Amino acid sequence: MVTATMRVRDVAAQSPARARREVPWLAVVAAVYAVVQLAVVVPHMGGGLLWDESVYASQVDPHRPAAFFSAPRSRGISYLVAPVVAATSSVVALRVVLALLSAVALYAVFRVWGPLVGRGTAALAALLFSGLWITQISGSQVMPNLWVALGAVAAVGWFLRAPAEPRARWWLAAAVAGITLLRMPDGGWLGLPLLAAAVCVRRWRPALPALLGGLALGAAPWVAEAYARFGGVGARLRASSATEGGMVPQLNVGTTLRSLNGPLLCRPCQVPLRHPELTLWWLALPLLAAAAVAVAVRDHRAGRGRALSATVLPVVCAASMAVPYLLLIDYSAPRFLLPAYALLALPLAALAARAPRAARSPVPVAALGLVLALQLGSQYAVLTDTTRQAAATAERYQRAAAGLRALGLRPPCLVAGPRALPIGYAAGCASAQVSGNNTSTTASALLRRAAHEPTAVFGHAPGHGLPSLRARGWTRHTLPGTGLRVYVAPVSGRAERPGQR
């Protein structure tokens, strides 16, 4: 009896020490995620922003005119980067801050799942998600999709914890509001299964006010802008559909498969499948998710394992958030499915963690380790290739902006035509379009404005919304190092600015 008591005391005395010695794997994963971004992505992306990044950053940049903000966009990512953009004009500094912030957010959102699936499984899920090339390249970009994905992980986790933890409802409301502020449609697609679960399952009903409040709070700016700029919510939704090419039921799986390993945007998506050998993981993803659900159901019936909802609800929410990108549009970008990948990482990690324990053999552990190493290695190969292409595009925009400055365009100035938005932002000029998805002015208004401020039009050809510019005295130039052709308005008739000769 005394010996047994002493052993219990020894174990109790060692428990805190063992807890202190336990490796914080989730923190390690988040730190490695930050290091990969800072070492591989940020140094090679150059000092420029890509097209969509320029649009979002310009909305809060105090030193540059705001680019046209189309109907489908939401302003959440602009609010997120506003303090950095206000403090510095350095794109590198902006990317460093976002890389560090995304790593902290990765740690925070997957930590929510520790009490639900275990800390080790949560860390493995974070590794599976952060190891994807699109996750690594998105962390330092001024784009909303990664932040929507991280918010979705937090929202579903807090939803599951809401019945037992009253404070979880406040975090749930905050997460849902943040997602909806970042991308209003994504907030709605996530809200659908969560609202259905809250209505149908009694123990989740206390989360219903938090869900509704978060959705309303996050959608409020989008709705207000809909009435201010588009004539109402219905008009903005119709404009959004037109911008997206018509959101109607259509199977978009083939387009999605062709863009999985790049390019960053596939529109129109006529490129061949890149790295087909690396597509196996993506094709296996739905099968692995189904296997995770089947195993969770079996364990639930046998009275073992964790709550069934911790596996099923992430899968259902992932499927819901993938619907618009797989079934409603005709183009694709790898970042579109980031929320689905983040949510599916949780049941996949639980399935992977369970397999070695069930087999009770070192062989499955070694096999899983090999598969994981191959997956991370293949993702790194795609990351370096895609980063190089993105950097070349950003560098082309920077060279075009330098070419415009060499031709005499200085703020305030105006740039129009294809690629006008990112090049105009890089040059410090306003941008405008007379046709296409980003139409923001008319041809006559553009020509009137060109009479009073330096103006350039890229790649102009008669019949594309403007009359012949050569006939109006505009001069044609080819910008060095870009292959881009630009027409520059004549200087006569402009009001001379102080110091201009």
Give me the residues paired with residue 458 across strands. Answer: 486
140 and 276 inside one domain: yes
Query: Where among 389, 408, 442 does a domain terminate?
Result: 389
Same domain assignment for residues 81 and 209? yes
Residue 384 sits in the same domain as residue 396: no
412 and 400 within one domain: yes
Kindly state whether residues 185 and 324 are assigned to the same domain. Answer: yes
How far out from the chain centre does Cα 495 lie? 43
Q: Does a structural domain hold residue 310?
A: yes
* Contact assessment for residue 79 and residue 72, using Cβ atoms and an 8 Å cutoff: no
**Beta-carbon contacts of residue 134 (< 8 Å; ≥ 6 apart):** 334, 335, 338, 341
Residue among 51, 79, 76, 45 at smallest CA distance from 400: 51
CA–CA separation, 387 and 385 (whole Å): 6
- Distance, CA of 153 to CA of 318 (rounded, Å): 10
Q: Is 62 helix (H, G, I), strand (E, B) or coil?
A: coil
Q: Residue-wise pLDDT tens for the chain (501 aa)?
A: 434 344 434 434 444 455 456 899 999 999 999 999 999 999 998 789 999 999 999 999 999 999 999 999 999 999 999 999 999 999 999 999 999 999 999 999 999 999 999 999 999 999 999 999 999 999 999 999 999 999 999 999 999 999 999 999 999 999 999 999 999 999 999 999 999 999 999 999 999 999 999 999 999 999 999 999 999 999 999 999 999 988 999 999 999 999 999 899 999 888 888 888 888 888 899 999 999 999 999 988 988 777 899 999 999 999 999 999 999 999 999 999 999 999 999 999 999 988 666 555 677 778 888 888 988 999 999 999 999 999 999 999 999 999 999 999 999 999 999 899 999 999 999 999 998 888 999 999 999 999 999 999 998 655 556 778 876 889 999 999 999 999 999 985 454 443 343
- Together in a domain, 266 and 396: no
Judge if 142 and 213 occupy the same domain.
yes
CA–CA separation, 213 vs 311, rounded Å? Answer: 25
**Residue 70 and residue 185 share a domain:** yes
Pick the last residue of a domain from 389, 406, 423: 389
How deeply is 19 buried, as exposed, middle or buried, from its count of CB atoms within 10 A (0-12, 13-18, 19+)?
Answer: exposed
292 and 406 inside one domain: no
Residues with Cβ within 8 Å of 346's Cβ and at least 6 positions away in sequence, in order, are 113, 117, 121, 122, 125, 153, 310, 311, 314
DSSP state of 368: H
Has residue 164 been placed in a domain?
A: yes
3-state secondary structure 190-209: HHHHHHHHHHHCHHHHHHHH
Same domain, 118 and 198: yes
Question: H or E segment at 280?
Answer: helix 280-301
pTM value?
Answer: 0.92
In a domain, 406, yes or no: yes
